Amino acid sequence: MRTQVVIIGAGPAGLLLGQLLCRHGIDNIILERHTGAYVLGRVRAGVIEQVTIGLLDEAGVGARMHEDGLVHDGVQICVDGVRHRISFKELTGKTVMVYGQTEITKDLMDGRAALGAPTVYAAQDVALHDIFADRPRVTYRAGGEAHEIVCDFIAGCDGFHGVSRTSVPPDTLTTHERVYPLGWLGILCDTPPVSEELIYVRHRLGFALCSMRSPRRSRYYLQCSLAEDIEAWPDERFWQELRPRLDEEARHRLVTGPSIEKSIAPLRSFVAEPMRFGRLFLAGDAAHIVPPTGAKGLNLAASDVRYLSRALIEHYAEKSDAGLAHYSERALARVWKAERFSWWMTTTLHRLSDNPFDQKLQLAELDYLFRSKAAATVFAENYVGLPY
Ligand code: FAD
Ligand code: DHB
């Protein structure tokens, strides 16, 4: 087989890239290890930046998001039972949208099906070849048969555990990593959210987050240890641990109910540099991971795709490789700022140590955030998404 771009991975990065390329007449094939149902079953991100909204619109898949997504003008932060609000609208003129990754993935899958673009689900043993040559190849197995695709470029959109990053010569790659000694235990529940806006909770018992997917569906997270066994967390225990971390009003408004999903996600900061190796370009979680605090993971995947799609369109339409040459540098400049913000939110809101000095520093950071318009503006600018 022959195509212009092979995209490895049908997560948000791969599907969005595929959609943008198709709309500019650039042929692409997506290879995904799992089934479509499995990809759609993963509950992950919930908050999207305006630039991500713009990109989904550009990809022609924004209609349902504008219909069902919830526009949020601000966010609440609760510190040891006292709630504060930061207004994005007042400080930056911008807002964010609450719309689940599952829904975005579905919209992108439907959009791809409408264009008739090929996706191979359940592709096994995907392998990259000749990435530094003019005609790289990708091989895989599907339906018991071996296949080979010759292409111009490979987009590695296969997430943190994918094959793309690990296919490059080790001496061409530098990685930077911080692993936090904790995870997020998340539940999804068909109950009304506790508040109209998200509440990030800093409490001496540990971090919590009250989020949502719709006016009838809530998403809650609790800081947990990495060794935690999900079987040890019946719903009742989750509510018992969440309630005392909330302020009084939220405790009264909290509606509990049976969970419809429950999972644990580890917290990690990770960056691989560069993001280009010959004709292989990494995008999204394949190149970098942020801890979820601040909701930057999906948005960063979208910003990589914005740079990469424009560079590929420029290559084919204008015969210019300037965008491709600058891709890694441009993407990483934005990635590191999101790494900084997610690290800051994580270390400021979680219980990471029993050292009273660390705890006093957290409280000083937060007190400054609530008292200084400059500090609140820095927070709001980062939360709504930095400009490209
Ligand atoms: P992914 O979504 O990981 O997609 C990669 C795709 O590649 C997957 O479908 C995978 O099956 C496929 N793949 C992997 N290996 C291969 C292979 N060898 N061959 C073919 N295909 C392959 N972000 C937030 O902003 N807020 C959150 O609350 C949040 N929660 C998260 C919870 C969890 C458990 C995880 C793992 C991530 C969470 N994130 C969150 C991060 C966010 O979901 C990711 O940043 C986002 O999914 C990145 O998209 P992606 O397309 O780059 O990677
Ligand atoms: C959600 C996840 C996040 O990481 C975050 O910072 C805000 C919201 C969510 O899943 O709703």
pLDDT, residue 297, reads: 97
pLDDT, residue 388, reads: 83
Q: Is the pLDDT of residue 34 over 90?
A: yes
Q: 273 C-alpha vs ligand 2 centroid, how far in Å?
A: 26
C-alpha to C-alpha distances, 17 to 186, 188, 303, nearest whole angstrom: 28, 28, 11
The residues annotated as belonging to the active site are 72, 200, 292, 296, 383
Q: 158 C-alpha vs ligand 1 centroid, how far in Å?
A: 8
Give the Cα separation of 44 and 175 in Å (integer). 24
DSSP code of 275? S
Counting from 1 in the atom list of ligand 2, the atom nearest the Cα of 184 is: 4
Average confidence score pLDDT of the chain:
97
C-alpha to C-alpha distances, 314 to 10, 309, 338, nearest whole angstrom: 23, 8, 26
Please name the residues in contact with 41: beta carbons below 8 A apart, sequence gap of 6 or more: 102
- Ligand 1 in contact with 337 (CB < 6 A)? no
Residue nearest to atom 1 of ligand 2 (CA): 46
Alpha-carbon Rg for the chain, nearest whole angstrom, is 21
pTM of the model: 0.97
Please name the residues in contact with 313: beta carbons below 8 A apart, sequence gap of 6 or more: 20, 21, 24, 26
Alpha helices in the chain (DSSP H): 12-22, 36-41, 50-58, 63-68, 88-92, 101-115, 235-242, 248-253, 297-318, 322-349, 356-371, 373-384
Q: Which of 104, 185, 209, 384 to mutate to test the pocket of ligand 2 (most atoms within 8 A of CB)?
A: 209
Please, what is the end-to-end C-alpha distance for the chain in angstroms? 36
pLDDT tens readout for residues 85-124: 999 999 999 999 999 999 999 999 999 999 999 999 999 9
Residue nearest to atom 5 of ligand 2 (CA): 295
Counting from 1 in the atom list of ligand 1, the atom nearest the Cα of 9 is: 7
pLDDT tens readout for residues 351-378: 999 999 999 999 999 999 999 999 999 9
Q: 235 C-alpha vs ligand 1 centroid, how far in Å?
A: 26
